[in-house]
Amino acid sequence: MFRNDQQRAEAIFYMLPPHMRARYWDRSRGPTDDAWTAIATEPMSGGEATILRAACDFWNGGGRALLDNILHGLDGRNTHAVCSLAIAVNEGGEAVEAWIAGRIAREDLAVRVAPFVVGRQR
């Protein structure tokens, strides 16, 4: 389980792809109004809708993400984010803290490595 709503909000924030965070999730308070509107109207791609639904399921069960959509509608990176967070939640607050730290570290590494990868020729 999550330790508290703050940890829940932060973990879900890092589960979401970076391009979705600002609009759909507040790192300390959870889903934005835009998140609930998007779930109701689904004005986004299937994969984005699925991961946002999963985020809202982690928040309060209100997202109604389907396991089939997670398994077949998300790419490997997002499927891993959802499933690995579910495992951490099942293992408790310390595991969730470790999960968050791991996500932050991977993102930090990606930001530092990106300039070198972008310019590389094959």
Q: What radius of gyration, in Å, describes the C-alpha atoms of the chain?
A: 15
CA distance 51 to 24: 11
Taking only the tens place, the pLDDT of each residue in 81-113 is 999 999 999 999 999 999 999 999 988 776 665
Question: What pLDDT shows up at residue 122?
Answer: 47
Contact present, 9 and 33 (Cβ < 8 Å): no
Q: What is the pTM of this model?
A: 0.87
